[in-house]
Structure 1
Amino acid sequence: MMVALGAWFVTGGTRQPASSGGSMPGKQPEAVPPKDGMADMSMPTGGESNVSQAYAMVPPARQQLIGVTTAVIEERPLKTTTRAVGRVEYDEQRITHVNLRISGWVDELFVDFTGQPVRKGQPLFNLYSPDLVATQDEFLLALRSRDKLKDSPIPEVREQAEQLLEATRERLRLWTLTDTQINEIARRGKAKTYLTIYSPVEGYVIDKQVFKGMFVQPETRLYSIADLSEVWMNAEVYEFEVPFVKTGQLAAATFAAYPGQAFHGRVSYIYPYLNQEARTVKVRLELPNPQLLLKPEMYGTVQIDVNRGVQLALPEGALLDSGTRQLVFVVRGEGLFEPREVAVGPKIGTYYEVREGLQPGDRVVTSGNFLIDSESKLMAATNMMGSLGMGGIRMEQAQMGQMEMGEMPRGTPERRKATAGRKAGDLTLALVTEPASPRIGENLIRVTIKGEGGKQVTNAIVQLTYTMPMPGMMPATVPMKRGKDGAYEAKVNLGMGGQWDLTVTVQRAGQPDVNETFSVTAGGGGLSGMLGK
């Protein structure tokens, strides 16, 4: 029977012309669109999902030409530095506002301009307050009454006199008079007309709202005094770098005003919101400022040390990231490269953190992998041809659309039949096919793996590579998944009748890989059974 086949194959979502092992190097055969009636024909795959990558075979001489380099995956300390622009600001916890608890008139100012340094206890201004004068008179009256009644024979009278004196003393304290000032009033025996207000802290006046002759009330903020011995620096860190920054990390700031000098501190706070316009997060640093070199509103550059500890690291050049998956090529020896999907974490310097897909000791391609990726996709397309029984067919025949197809036997297959276990390294492998006599088309391959003592191995990574020992047939590889009974299984499409070699690869953490090849024979000799008469 003559069946017309188009020479186009879909690989990885991109339509590519199929290649043939018999085509001349450097010459690409001309692709022909599918013939009428073949548009709905679906291409069989090597597993349960579409296979868009295959092992790539690149001879050593060609590797040198395309500049292939490799590196071993290993654990290494991952460190980097996050840089950001920052601005010096006042430490909000070191700002003190001066208010009064009484109203009155400012008589004389001792600190009368912004930026003036003040010491703790230094006079700020004098205040005249009628309420304060009246309270002092009450205190002096209570003091004289107590002195007169202290020798009274009636205990209750003496106690009441003491309570009245203490009540007036407490009122003066509430109006910010110190015990020293109160004792001075008692010693003089006369109320003070003016009350001197003192600075509660040491620092610099950063805001002043008081003037001579001004009437002030309790809600009036008179001074703001800042301690500049330590300042804040708020840095704007890009959102993709925020996961690297933690409180307590060491940081350094440099300024154009002080070339060659770095000011060291620590990250004290990461703000919980994002600047929507700049897409940055504010990170606060605390910087000691004993010499007062750092002035609020100065701009500088912040460097935050990032230490992720010892991690399994992947060189940045090894990763191929399509946006939907992340791929590396693992060196398998003798010019063979395995495409393997991985999951990586953040990029630290020139390395990615490895989360899944690689083990210490794996060797990966770090340059030239784009060309190997193209070779892998080309081989995947060739594998599709092989799975359709086209491995030994010349491309010229495929383009002409003329190929002889045999009949595929139809019948009820046997349920299953297991092969005898084979010793491979420290393991014993037994392979089962369903049906027991493999047929052209889909077959289920099941492998039972046992270790020393006959204990079943269920925590390994197992792959199945299958091919026909004939020119033009490239191997296809599929992962094997663990079934309910602990055996590993995968579905494969045997595209034509004859002998197929099935190679089982077992990978275990900390153990060398184990490979064992089984040979099976698929019944039938062509594709007509798959395509229909």
Structure 2
Amino acid sequence: MKYIVCFLMIILTLYSCNNNADKNGHSDSSHAVESSLTYTCPMHPEVISDKPGKCPKCGMELEQKAHTHEAEIMELNALIKPTNEFVISDIPTITMQSERKDITVQALGNIAYDTRQTGNISARISGRIEKLYVRYKFQKITKGQKVMDIYSPELMEAQENLLFLLKNDAMNSMMINAAKQKLLLLGMSESQLRSIIQKGKPDFWVSVYSNYAGHIHEAGTAGSMGAVTSLSNSMEGISETSSELTLKEGMYVQKGQTIFNVFNPGKSWVLLNIFSEDVPLVKTGQTVNIVPEVAPEKKFTGTIGFIEPFFREGSKTLSVRIYFDNSRMQLPIGSQVKSEIETDGISGNWIPKEAVISLGLTKVVFKKVDGGFFVNKIETGNETDRYIEVLQGLLPTDAIARNAQYLMDSESFVRTKNN
């Protein structure tokens, strides 16, 4: 009996140990399964947690994901890449599109006088200004209007020679005609010539008339001795108000000197400023839609008549001219305009603007690779409202992020291999 009791106690002890071993083994297995389960965000795969919850970046519920040993190694390799070169994401991708795009160049400018229509009023004789009929700058004059009277000793001598021939050698037609022609060349009109022949007395001055219609611009400034010493036909120095002329009665002018310039506001051009990146797109003959800022309702269409072959000093733009008739619209000279130039279509490889990030002089895109996006430098060309032309840096089969800005936050810094 004693042996039977001992045998039963040994059996019970062994059974209890087996049960404990089974329980402990089951618990370890469950713990191993649980430890192999992780939770990640569908929008941000880099967010990984060992328990359920919400994504700290977007607030979405974390999804359960079972990881194999190989998957863990692959994700680890991706995550240890530099964050300023590689981005883990599953956003939509696009490829370059080879097609022809219509490009409209926008430019600002102003209305200016057409200098091809500029007229010059010059003194044909040296002498003193006896009477000045133009009183202030930018005064409007008409063709044939008297501008001034000039007294000239040379003119007096030529008149006296003619009158002497008529009185003492009336049959010498050759000399008489030569004397008349000289007076005409000195600026005397046909009516004045007939008048002195009828009177038999010389006039003390000759009148200067304008052969042009427009606005008077002073071409010279008075020197200290009262002579017109500096003449220029430029439009620089236009004053804000119509002040009086520096040229006064009693001053002397010299033969051949330009006294006034006459600009016709009815014959004008639009001077547009074209930025350097748009210069290759602009050609003569292209249609331009122009909207004057002072009178938007007077918008009109013109064509490019001339492209200046140089950049003006201190300017980063090239100027183009659009000739137009301003006699009907009467737009103020110097007023600003906005314009759109309809250029010829351009064939190339294009991607949306939102796919490109500008880093100053460098442009980059996010190129699709296994596990995410890699920063890729590109060279760009022409631009439209929505697209950018790619010159170098991408192949037609390369997939890039449609929205590159989405992959960057305000504190990101993108670095390329060459930058």
TM-score, with structure 2 as normaliser: 0.58
Residues 495-527 of structure 1: CA distance to partner in whole angstroms, max 9, x if unpaired?
A: xxxxxxxxxxxxxxxxxxxxxxxxxxxxxxxxx
The whole-number CA distance in structure 2 between the counterparts of 1:80 and 1:262 is 17
Q: CA RMSD in A?
A: 4.5
The answer to whether 1:88 aligns with 2:123 is no
1:176 aligns with 2:187: yes
Task: Kindly indicate whether residue 145 of structure 2 is the aligned counterpart of residue 122 of structure 1.
Answer: yes
Equivalent residue for 2:381?
Answer: 345
Where in structure 1 are there 5+ consecutive unaligned residues? Answer: 1-19, 33-52, 54-61, 150-160, 373-533
Q: Counterpart of 1:476?
A: none
Q: Distance in 1 between matches of 2:357 and 2:248?
A: 70
| Pair 1:339–1:220, CA change in 2 (3 A) | closer
Structure 1 CA distance, aligned partners of 2:266 and 2:381? 40
Partner of 2:275: 238
Who is 2:326 aligned against?
289
Provide the C-alpha distance between the structure 2 equivalents of 1:81 and 1:325, rounded to a whole number of angstroms: 22
**For residue 264 of structure 2, what is the amino acid of its counterpart?**
D
Q: Does 2:132 correspond to 1:109?
A: yes
Instruction: Report SS of the residue matched to 1:296.
Output: coil
Aligned counterpart, 1:426:
none
- 1:237-258 Cα shifts (integer Å, max 9, x gaps): 3333333333343334434432
2:311 is the alignment partner of 1:262? no
Q: Which residue of 1 aligns with 2:338?
A: 302
Aligned to 2:171: 148
Q: Is the Cα–Cα contact under 8 Å of residues 91 and 401 in structure 2 kept in the other structure?
A: no
Change (3 A) 1:295 1:180: same
The structural deviation recorded for 1:186 is 3.8
Q: Deviations over 1:194-216 (max 9, x none)?
A: 32221110112233444334443
1:387-426 per-residue CA deviation (whole Å, 9 max, x = no partner) reads xxxxxxxxxxxxxxxxxxxxxxxxxxxxxxxxxxxxxxxx
Superposed CA offset, 1:306-359 (max 9, x none) = 41324134124556788789778699xxx9999999865322333344657989
Alpha carbons 1:90, 1:228 under 8 Å: kept: yes
Is 1:367 aligned to residue 402 of structure 2?
A: yes
Native 8 Å contact 1:108 1:126 kept in 2: yes
Instruction: Indicate if the aligned counterparts of 1:313 and 1:351 stay in contact, CA closer than 8 A.
Output: no
Letter in 1 for 2:350: L
Give the number of aligned pairs.
Answer: 308
The whole-number CA distance in structure 2 between the counterparts of 1:371 and 1:109 is 73
In structure 1, what residue type is equivalent to 2:187? Answer: T
Per-residue CA deviations over 1:157-214 (Å, capped at 9, x if unaligned) read xxxx51x233323322321224454344445544333322211101122334443344
CA distance in 2, matches of 1:135, 1:29: 102
Q: Superposition pairs for residues 127-526 of structure 1, below 5 Å?
A: 127-144=150-167, 147-149=170-172, 162=174, 164-207=175-218, 208-218=245-255, 221-267=258-304, 268-270=306-308, 272-276=310-314, 279-291=316-328, 293-298=330-335, 300-315=336-351, 316-317=353-354, 345-353=381-389, 365=400, 367=402
Tell whether the 8 Å contact from 1:69 to 1:365 is kept in structure 2 after alignment. yes
The residue aligned with 1:70 is 94
- Structure 2: state its 5+ residue gaps: 1-68, 219-244, 408-419
Question: What is the deviation of 1:289?
Answer: 1.3
Greater helix share, structure number: 2
Q: 1:123 offset after TM fit, Å? A: 1.5
Q: Deviations over 1:58-114 (max 9, x none)?
A: xxxx9xx83314367242232222223x33333333332322121233333333232
| d(CA) in 1 for partners of 2:79, 2:362 | 31
How far apart, in 1, do the equivalents of 2:372 and 2:78 lie?
25
Please tell me whether the aligned partners of residues 117 and 263 of structure 2 are also in contact (alpha carbons under 8 angstroms). yes
Letter in 2 for 1:132: L
Q: Secondary structure at the match of 2:103?
A: strand
Q: Which has the higher strand share?
A: 1
Structure 1 letter corresponding to 2:280: P
Q: Partner residue of 2:225?
A: none
- In structure 2, distance between residues paired with 1:280 and 1:293: 27
Query: Residue 177 of structure 2: SS of its match in structure 1?
Result: helix
The question of whether the paired residues in 2 share the 8 Å contact of 1:95 and 1:226 is answered with yes
d(CA) in 2 for partners of 1:319, 1:67? 15
For 2:198 and 2:397, how far apart are their aligned partners in 1? 89
The equivalent of 1:23 in structure 2 is 72
Which of 1 and 2 has greater Rg?
2
